[in-house]
């Protein structure tokens, strides 16, 4: 099991898991078989079977397929 290290006395230290620093970059907000969204894109794609829903919060629009 990987060792998790968090320094509560110094909150500017980045925690590690198994000696690797935790990556706080967020390429995706949602990344699953049913919902996808890139960080800060304002767009979400929801899929289930043949149904697809695209939500665009930048343009206040939705598109169902």
What the block records as the tokens of 41 is 């894109």
Segments of the chain with pLDDT less than 70:
none
pLDDT at residue 26 in the model: 77
pLDDT at residue 37 in the model: 96
- DSSP-derived secondary structure for 17-47: ETTEEP----SEEEESSSEEEETT--EEEEE
Strand order of the β-sheet with 20-21 is 4-5, 16-17, 20-21
32 sits in the region (left: phi over 0; alpha: psi -120 to 50; else beta) called beta
Q: Which residue has the tokens 């665009």?
A: 56
**pTM above the 0.75 mark?**
no
């Amino acid at each position: 099991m990987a060792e998790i290290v968090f320094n509560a006395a110094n909150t500017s230290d980045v925690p590690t898991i198994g000696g690797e620093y935790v990556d706080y970059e967020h390429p995706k907000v949602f990344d699953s078989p049913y919902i996808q969204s890139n960080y800060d894109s304002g767009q979400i794609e929801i899929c289930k079977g043949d149904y697809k829903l695209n939500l665009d919060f930048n343009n206040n629009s939705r598109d169902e397929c």
